[in-house]
């Protein structure tokens, strides 16, 4: 799945699932690096979506 095409909610749900697997000890060493990398990518995507939303809100409020 392309990270740019998923919603904020989907990205957060995936991050939460990764964190749950980490906390539950479900990840072996072979998958750990890939899961941490994916979580990092998803967090960056969420930050970008939040930043864009903040800019949109600010632009609307500045017009009033």
- Tens-digit pLDDT profile for the chain (64 aa)? 444 589 999 999 999 999 999 999 988 888 999 999 999 999 999 999 999 999 999 999 998 7
Q: Dihedral sign for Cα 25, 27, 32, 38, please.
A: negative
Structure token digits, residue 50: 């939040």
**How far apart, in whole angstroms, are the C-alpha atoms of residue 27 and residue 18?**
9
**How far apart, in whole angstroms, are the C-alpha atoms of residue 56 and residue 50?**
10
CB atoms within 10 A of CB 8: 14
Structure token digits, residue 51: 């930043």
pLDDT for the residue 1: 46
pLDDT for the residue 3: 46
Task: Return phi, psi of residue 18, to 5°.
Answer: -65, -45
pLDDT for the residue 12: 97
């Amino acid at each position: 799945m392309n990270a740019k095409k998923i919603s904020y909610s989907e990205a957060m749900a995936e991050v939460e699932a990764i964190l749950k697997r980490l906390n539950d000890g479900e990840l072996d060493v072979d998958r750990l690096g890939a899961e941490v990398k994916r979580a990092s990518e998803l967090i960056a995507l969420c930050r970008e979506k939040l930043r864009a939303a903040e800019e949109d809100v600010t632009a609307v409020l500045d017009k009033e």
